[in-house]
Amino acid sequence: MTLLFSLLMPHSAFAAPAEETTKQIEELKQDIQQLKANDEVYKDIREEIKNYNDFMQQKNTDLSSTFNLFITMITFLFTVIGAGFFYFAGQSKKETKEELARELAQSKEESERALKKAQIEIQTSFETQLQEMRTKTEQEFKKILDWEFNTFKQMINNEIVFKSTRILLVAPEEETKRMEREELMSIRQRGIDQIEPMEFDLVSLKTKLESENYDILIYRFLDDVSTPDATKIVDLLINGKYEIPYIVYNDPNHWFQKDVKQKLISYHWYTFANHPITLVSYLFSLAYAYNKNQPVSRRSILFSEDKHE
């Protein structure tokens, strides 16, 4: 419209002929028509733009609704999935707890069984070892007891033998008194106390040997004066068929003559002692071996296996 008014306004400086003006008017009319046509076009374009805008706005609205619906659906889906996950997770956790509880209970039972089995095995092994140790100890202790009992029994038997051994000592009275203070005292202190002294008398000696049960005969040999008595005793023992040990106790400074020695050794149960220690040793060994009071029978009675048990 501004262009139209500008064209219609008079311009004195640029006046043109009528034809020119008419031509211009026609051109202007054409331009106006063109403008109108363009205005219609612009109007249509604006309408299209408006329609497009409305369409786009509708599309945006629909898209927004769709997006919101999608978001809502996604949220709902995630909610459902999450709820399902948590539900199943809770169920799985519960089942896991239950499974763990069952495994723990089973493991505990197995551990208790294994522990009980180990305790039984240890106890059995310990009882077996204890029984073996007890048996071994009892056997060792029994051996010790048996040894001590046998030793004690032997000591008692020896004491019985020594106490029951009867010895006849043939010696002068003065020599007997001296021996009582020395050799005989030592012998009595060691357990042999049945020692009967007598002076030499062949008849009395024979009577004693026949009536009494002596175990050992001792003749105290002093010097050559005693030689006939020593040989007479040998004849008495041989003729009487005695088996009583005969000890000739002589002084180390006095030796037998050859014929006397031959006579003495003709008696099978003869021996001689020339020192107190030799006399004591012979007495105890002979007392144990030649006791006539049946020491073996006495020991069997006093210490028989049945009585001991």
* Per-residue confidence (pLDDT) for residue 22, from 0 to 100: 76
CB 205 within 8 A of CB 234: no
Separation of alpha carbons 272 and 225, rounded Å? 17
* Per-residue confidence (pLDDT) for residue 25, from 0 to 100: 77
Given a cut of 90, whether residue 218 has pLDDT beyond it is yes
Q: Is the pLDDT higher at 190 or at 75?
A: 190
Q: Which residues of 3-32 are buried (b: 16+ CB within 10 A; e: fewer)?
A: eeeeeeeeeeeeeeeeeeeeeeeeebeeeb
Measured at the alpha carbon of residue 188, what is the angle toward residues 185 and 190, in degrees to the nearest 5?
115
Q: Name 276's Cβ contacts closer than 8 Å, sequence gap at least 6.
A: 182, 183, 186
Pairs from 260-266 (Cβ < 8 Å, separation ≥ 24): 260/227, 260/230, 260/231, 263/230, 263/231, 263/234, 264/230, 264/231, 264/234, 266/234, 266/238
Measured at the alpha carbon of residue 44, what is the angle toward residues 43 and 50, in degrees to the nearest 5?
90
CB 236 within 8 A of CB 259: no
Segments in 165-182 forming alpha helices (H): 173-181
Separation of alpha carbons 246 and 298, rounded Å? 25
* Per-residue confidence (pLDDT) for residue 238, from 0 to 100: 92
Look up residue 225 and give its DSSP letter. Answer: G
pLDDT in tens, 107-138: 778 878 887 887 787 778 777 877 888 788 78
Average pLDDT, the chain: 76
> Which residue in 207, 304, 203, 219 sits closest to 269, CA to CA?
219
Least confident range of 88-92, 239-243, 297-301: 297-301
* Strand 216-221 with 194-198, pairing: unpaired
Separation of alpha carbons 215 and 243, rounded Å? 9
* Per-residue confidence (pLDDT) for residue 246, from 0 to 100: 93
pLDDT in tens, 81-107: 766 666 666 666 667 777 778 877 887
% of the chain exceeding 90 in pLDDT: 13
Q: Is the pLDDT higher at 260 or at 91?
A: 260
Q: Is the pLDDT higher at 146 or at 198?
A: 198
pLDDT band at 263 (very low <50, low <70, confident <90, very high): confident
Neighbours of 263 (CB within 10 A): 19
Q: Is the pLDDT higher at 158 or at 188?
A: 188
Measured at the alpha carbon of residue 286, what is the angle toward residues 206 and 264, in degrees to the nearest 5?
50
Tell me the one-letter amino acid at 167: I
What average pLDDT score do residues 238-246 get? 91
Q: Is 205 left (phi over 0), alpha (psi -120 to 50) or beta?
A: alpha
What average pLDDT score do residues 20-29 get? 75
Q: Name 227's Cβ contacts closer than 8 Å, sequence gap at least 6.
A: 221, 256, 257, 260
